Amino acid sequence: MGLPLKEESPDEIIHYKKYINLKDIIVKRFPNIIIHGCSNSGKTFLINYILNRNFGSSKENNEDKIKYKENPNYYWFDFSNHLKHLMIKKISLIIKNYDHYRDNIKYIVIDNYNDIQDNIQKTIKVFMEKFTETSRFILITKKLVSVDPSTRNNCFNIMLNTPSSYDKYIYFKYKLDKE
């Protein structure tokens, strides 16, 4: 299990309220998560921030015509790409290989989950149910209704709203004071 790289002030990010809860859910290995909210609300940034802070940065891979980010603790796939079937094959290989030496659960982050067809969503649902000992999924989507209802029921659903004016004020005040 990764250790925090450094203690941060919650004011360091604009979604400081959601950050604390979401970080605890991820670090304590709770079940699968769906992050949803409108475009440009900071969903991808927040998950990336939490994973980088707790497990370190990732490196980008180009393998079999697909791009993904890789870290010993997590993998990041952007499903806005048209080669979804190749990504599913790669995810299958990742979750079937368990690191017994480190007793490490791998996080599979799927960004733009709303761009996935029903048959691929069903495959991912099977992965979630079958490989609970080796992996956890974090699904990032703009529309919660685009996620299969049974998948929604088996995941933590967290909505990320556009930051309020007050949250923006606190964030920018912190940044100005820091500089």
Distance CA 34, CA 29 (A): 14
Nearest to 59 by CA among 76, 46, 82: 76
Q: What is the pLDDT of residues 109-161, one digit of tens each?
A: 999 999 888 999 999 999 999 998 889 999 999 999 999 999 999 898 988 88
Instruction: Tell me the whole-structure pTM to 2 decimals.
Output: 0.83
Residues β-bridged to residue 36: 141, 159
In this prediction, residue 169 has a pLDDT band, given cuts at 50, 70 and 90, of confident
* More reliable by pLDDT, 7 or 135: 135
Please state at what angle helix 16-27 crosses helix 165-178, rounded to 10 degrees.
90
Query: What average pLDDT is seen over the chain?
Result: 83
Average pLDDT over residues 18-28: 80
Would the pLDDT of 7 be above 80? no
Mean pLDDT of 6-23: 66
- Predicted confidence (pLDDT) at residue 175 exceeds the cutoff of 80: no
pLDDT at 6: 45
Q: pLDDT at position 125, please?
A: 94
Written as six digits, the tokens of 150 are 């049974």
**Partners of 159 in the β-ladder:** 36
Model pLDDT, residue 166? 78
56-103 per-position pLDDT tens digit: 899 998 877 788 999 989 999 998 877 788 899 999 988 887 666 666
Averaged pLDDT for residues 1-17: 55
